[in-house]
Structure 1
Amino acid sequence: MKRVLITGANSYIGTSFEKYSSEHYASELSVDTVDMIDGTWKQKDFSSYDIVYHVAGLAHADVGNVSDEIKAKYYAINTDLAIETCKKAKNEGVKQFVFMSSAIVYGDSAPYGKTKRITKDTEPEPANFYGDSKWQADKGVRALADENYIVTVLRPPMIYGKGSKGNYPTLAKMAKKLPVFPNVPNERSMLYIENLCEFLCQVMIRGEGGIFWPQNAEYTITSDMVKMIADASGHKIHVSKGWNWVVGLARVIPGKPRGLANKAFGNLSYEQNMSRYGFTYNVVDLKASIERTEC
């Protein structure tokens, strides 16, 4: 059995992984958690663990209106803390360090009407301080890998599931209230929380290192997902191209309207081939994942 230490208490991903691994891989993974807020983690002995899974970090930044002090906090937590934790794990004999990077290192979504398909050859190009704070950590922890120390970096797209934060719950609220919704063709990579947890279990059990781009087996079209959410919630919504003019209008209005249109109907996807590995991790398909999230 491998012992796993989650560095970062009470995070959505960390608690979800701990629950999932105990239900599905209790005989192979034993999971503990340490809080990273007050600094006492520095005194914790890492040497009894095989794997450190680092989830501590700041996300969901209002990148358009942030002080230099807040930006510095993002770098201190997302970059410096991650690298310091990785060094401590290495120095104390931990065999594998797993780090949650993000698709945000590739910049923002392509705006409505344009495509953005990421391949293994796409160079990261963060669009703001939040993305750069993750990118600097991404590079920093990988630089510590050697033949005796495995570093596993995940760059997942938007993660969603029951209790998740971010863009998904905002979209779900609209799906449950609006009578109509635009039928705009777009393409987004997403990752359901149980699929992520299965992926994590697999790379930990197998001891696989490097950069990984896990995603659902299917791309998501925003209008299709809204219809699925509405159906799962018992709400009737009419998805029609007749309302696409609203999105077209919003995208040319500077400020919040353009931002919302691009966030909801923009394009950002990973090439599917780069997300296929020597194991199966997509245990829940898109439709079932929406139903589980909304039940």
Structure 2
Amino acid sequence: MKKVLITGKNSYIGNALENWLANEPENYQVESIDMKDGSWKEREFSSYDVVFHVAGIAHVSTDPKMEALYYKVNRDLTIETAEKAKTEGVKQFIFMSSIIVYGDSSSSKRVIDRQTIPTPSNFYGNSKLQAEEGIKNLESNEFKIVILRPPMIYGKGSKGNYPRLAKMAKKTPIFPDIDNERSMLHIDNLCEFLKIMIDFEESGLYFPQNQEYVKTSELVHTIAQVHGKKIILTRVFNPLIKLLFKIEVIHKVFGNLVYDQVMSKYEKKDYRIRTLKESIELTEK
């Protein structure tokens, strides 16, 4: 029986993992706590085997007034939580970082491998990277640390770019056909990966992603198909999109950002239990 504490009560990923592990009540006991006030500091961590730290600011903001808050929540809170977990005898600390530590997507193909040096382009990415660096020094044989740098996570009820694309797919009759590639991670694949990390008591830096890369136009087309909608993909808008690529919404939708598939394999057990098409069907239905 593994006892797991999730920081970030009612978070999308936290709730998903709690529900996932609830399928095996004989193997996992899961609790979650709210980190929005200081009451968590009085919580005793010593009875838990694992702390999964998902609490943080998830969205990207360019508002300079938000910068201090990002570092306070994403960096300082992470380090403080990890220190408490180690002091009180927790065996494993799992931290949700992000592919955003490598910066923004690009207009041309961009493949991240293990030699790629993180170059965050905003304080969201930098706060995540600094949190990683802050907790690495705490690792020991008795306190294992897992750092995950997932790409865009999606699934039923998720927030961010995926639901915006899904909404567009259900309404628009035409969509640009741009040749781009993105790494993505369905919530079920993520939860299975986290379960494996807990089961095998792992430590280290990991890059989970779906088996397949995603082309935005094909993703939109597949979503439309699931809803019985017809959508035409066209390249007539491609020159204009390339001219406007520096606009944030354009490079988020049509940019390139993938992990080398080799770095995402886990040899002991396959965590990629959902194909791309199956994951979209589960998300949309």
What range is the shorter-chain TM-score in?
over 0.9
Gap regions ≥5 residues in structure 2: none
Name the residue aligned to 2:67.
Answer: 71
Please, which moves more after superposition, 53-62 or 25-34?
25-34
Name the residue aligned to 1:30.
Answer: 29
What do the CA deviations read for 1:150-204 (whole angstroms, capped 9, x no partner)? 0000000000001101111111111111110111111110000000000000000
Name the residue aligned to 1:13.
Answer: 13
1: CA distance, partners of 2:126 / 2:61: 14
Alignment of 1:275 with 2:264, yes or no, is yes
* Contact 2:189 2:273 (8 Å CA) reproduced: yes
What do the CA deviations read for 1:200-240 (whole angstroms, capped 9, x no partner)? 00000110000000000000000000001111122211112
1: CA distance, partners of 2:226 / 2:85: 43
2: CA distance, partners of 1:247 / 1:229: 22
Alignment of 1:294 with 2:284, yes or no, is yes
What do the CA deviations read for 1:11-45 (whole angstroms, capped 9, x no partner)? 0000011011112x332221111111111000000
- The share of aligned pairs that are identical, in percent, is 52
Name the residue aligned to 2:46.
Answer: 47
* Contact 1:28 1:205 (8 Å CA) reproduced: no
Q: How far is the alpha carbon of 1:131 from its aligned partner?
A: 0.5
Query: What's the TM-score, normalizing by structure 2?
Result: 0.97
* Contact 2:49 2:90 (8 Å CA) reproduced: yes
Name the residue aligned to 2:79.
Answer: 83
Q: How far is the alpha carbon of 1:62 from its aligned partner?
A: 2.4
Query: What's the TM-score, normalizing by structure 1?
Result: 0.94
Q: How far is the alpha carbon of 1:143 from its aligned partner?
A: 1.6
1: CA distance, partners of 2:137 / 2:168: 43
2: CA distance, partners of 1:143 / 1:116: 31
2:197 to 187, 200, 203: 203
* Contact 2:9 2:33 (8 Å CA) reproduced: yes
1:173 to 146, 149, 167: 167
Other structure's SS at 2:6 match: strand
Other structure's SS at 1:52 match: strand
Name the residue aligned to 1:96.
Answer: 92
Other structure's SS at 2:166 match: helix
Other structure's SS at 1:219 match: coil
Other structure's SS at 1:242 match: coil
1:285 to 275, 280, 283: 275
Alignment of 1:143-182 (within 5 A): 143-182=137-176
Other structure's SS at 2:5 match: strand
Q: How far is the alpha carbon of 1:125 from its aligned partner?
A: 0.9
Q: How far is the alpha carbon of 1:261 from its aligned partner?
A: 1.7
2: CA distance, partners of 1:265 / 1:40: 42
What do the CA deviations read for 1:43-67 (whole angstroms, capped 9, x no partner)? 000000000000100021222xx13
2: CA distance, partners of 1:27 / 1:191: 27
Other structure's SS at 1:31 match: strand
* Contact 2:61 2:124 (8 Å CA) reproduced: no
- Which letter maps to 1:271? D
* Contact 1:195 1:216 (8 Å CA) reproduced: yes
* Contact 1:142 1:153 (8 Å CA) reproduced: no
Name the residue aligned to 2:2.
Answer: 2
Q: How far is the alpha carbon of 1:260 from its aligned partner?
A: 1.9
- Which letter maps to 2:31? D
2: CA distance, partners of 1:67 / 1:241: 37
What do the CA deviations read for 1:223-281 (whole angstroms, capped 9, x no partner)? 00000111112221111223323423433xx6xxx222211111000000000012110
2: CA distance, partners of 1:18 / 1:172: 26
- Which letter maps to 1:29? Y
2: CA distance, partners of 1:262 / 1:181: 15
2:213 to 190, 211, 219: 219
- Which letter maps to 1:220? V
Q: How many residues align?
A: 284
* Contact 2:156 2:282 (8 Å CA) reproduced: yes
Other structure's SS at 1:170 match: helix
2: CA distance, partners of 1:94 / 1:62: 33
1: CA distance, partners of 2:169 / 2:237: 15
